[in-house]
Amino acid sequence: MTRSVIVVGGGISGLTAAWRLRADAEVTVLEGAPRIGGKLRTGTLAGIPVDEGAESLMALRPEAVHLAQEVGLGDDLCDPAPAPTTLWSDGALRPLPPGHVMGIPTDPGVLAGTGLLSQEGVARLRHEETLPAEPIADDVSVAEYLGGRLGQEAVDRLVEPLLGGVYAGRPDRLSLRSVLPRVAAVAERGEPLLGALRRMRPSGGAAAPRAGAPRAVPVQGLRGGAGRLPLAVAAASGARVLTGTRVRELRRTPGGRWRVFAVTGDGPLLLEADAVVLAVPAYEAAELLRPHAPLADADLGAIQHASTAVVTMAFPRADALVLGHGNRHGDELPTGNGFLVPAVDGGALKAATFLSNKWQWQRAAAPDLFLLRTSIGRVAEEHRLATPDRHLVRASVTELHRALGSIGEPVAARVTRWERGLPQYGVGHIERIARVREAVGKLPGLALCGAAYEGVGVAACVATGTAAARRITEG
Ligand SMILES: Cc1cc2nc3c(=O)[nH]c(=O)nc-3n(C[C@H](O)[C@H](O)[C@H](O)COP(=O)(O)OP(=O)(O)OC[C@H]3O[C@@H](n4cnc5c(N)ncnc54)[C@H](O)[C@@H]3O)c2cc1C
């Protein structure tokens, strides 16, 4: 029976594992940073809580929302304001008509007149259903498959910005099977795509909900910030949590236990446990696994990461309203929940989220301010981040003014950099992870979880944390 477990990494994946293990083991969480939570972090701006990393919990799959409920945050779950997905595309804000699957319109006709695609681009989409469709056997990139069926313009202007919002990744590198599994399933069956997607329930919200069906809100937030989730999970788990404790090495003892070497502000620390859960990013897991599972090390080390920065800003509402005479919305503040930007337009911004519109609690916390955040940086765009914080703020304000008209100047701004923050699921990712799991499966008392494996979203990370705990308890 496993009596003691060390969890390396105090992000949501590791903390979920600690919570799931609470009844079966004495758990110690070792976190290298000064605080737990990883990419779920709520800071403050102008005295207002703001999420600096993840701010939405996927609600179409249940794991994150259930976890929040389990640890007592159920009453604080909240829905975002309803708003269409909007693209700042080719110089204008353009809502994406409902009824799409990750930007792929199931009915190309709805795009006519939206300016999202050229006439040729829409015609190319219509042509999809007449193209021969051979079953594809191997994983391919999103761009290779979708470019062939829908045309490059649809990939660049519709699919890329939506994928960019999740992965900060490039369609010519991302794995179709990993990031668009429903589309990959159609490709593997060798069916025309749009017709097959029409028969499914689109994620864009076109399908009317069936009477009595559960509400399909795609995401939910937490009043006070999604960063409250890891803190609540850690507290509920009862685990011993050591922050500022970076693990450098794992060794197996002759008795089959694990010895964990860490460094802290006070010097080295050596701990021993029956089992270890590695809940760190892929490049850290690769280092720690090197002496024990070289094949897993190579596969994990090959996973690319995108670095991004989140620029959170507070604009005085009154100023923005006054200045708003010059903006495209008359004398009103920007409407909607924000916008995504196709990389092909060449700007710095990947996305903007209007926090004060999206989350009622955020608006109530700062009634005199208009809070928003921008996101800068996709994979292979590190050059955009090699600049001081104030330049990222300036680039954000300049592009916001271009997209929205003048909304004034921010009275407060905060830049949060997430270096190598988002793992990229490249072509062959599923097979790569299967190899890693097989290699690690041969190491008794060791389990892996985190964003590098079966999904980068919080819900997927929670699922891997739960699975890692099960592997430890079930052996
Ligand atoms: C800017 C941004 C916005 C996002 N927005 C959303 C969103 O809105 N919704 C959504 O679902 N997902 C979002 N994501 C993705 C999601 O937040 C992350 O994938 C998820 O939180 C990762 O959790 P994790 O526990 O696997 O990893 P992490 O959060 O990275 O946690 C790993 C922890 O391990 C620690 N660590 C690393 N090495 C060591 C070591 N050697 N010893 C000890 N500790 C170590 C790190 O300090 C870190 O705290 C976003 C990601 C980013 C970067």
Q: Which atom of ligand 1 is nearest to the CA of 9?
A: 34
Residue minimizing CA distance to atom 26 of ligand 1: 450
Q: Which atom of ligand 1 is nearest to the CA of 36?
A: 49
- pLDDT at residue number 332: 67
> Beta strand 412-423 with 305-316: parallel, antiparallel or unpaired?
antiparallel
**CATH architecture observed for domain 4-78+223-303+425-474:** 3-Layer(bba) Sandwich (3.50)
- pLDDT at residue number 216: 64
Going from the Cα of 376 to the center of ligand 1, the distance in angstroms, rounded, reads 17
- pLDDT at residue number 201: 60
Going from the Cα of 230 to the center of ligand 1, the distance in angstroms, rounded, reads 11
- pLDDT at residue number 405: 86
C-alpha to C-alpha distances, 350 to 125, 301, 308, 338, nearest whole angstrom: 25, 26, 9, 11
- pLDDT at residue number 407: 86
- pLDDT at residue number 99: 87
- pLDDT at residue number 320: 67
Low-confidence ranges of the chain (pLDDT < 70): 1-2, 201-216, 320-332
Going from the Cα of 216 to the center of ligand 1, the distance in angstroms, rounded, reads 26
Cβ proximity of 177 and 429 under 8 Å: yes
For the domain spanning 305-423, the CATH number is 3.90.660.20
Q: Helices 294-301 and 429-441 sit at what angle, rounded to 10 degrees?
A: 150
Reported as a single tens digit per residue, the pLDDT across 262-292 is: 999 999 999 999 999 999 999 999 999 999 9
Looking at domain 98-199, its CATH superfamily turns out to be protoporphyrinogen ix oxidase, domain 3 (1.10.3110.10)
Domain ranges of the chain: 4-78+223-303+425-474, 98-199, 305-423
Cβ proximity of 272 and 257 under 8 Å: yes
- pLDDT at residue number 1: 63
DSSP 346-410: --SEEEEE-HHHH-HHHHHH-TTEEEEEEEE--TT-GGGGSS-HHHHHHHHHHHHHHHHS-----
**How many angstroms separate the CA atoms of 354 and 81, rounded?**
11
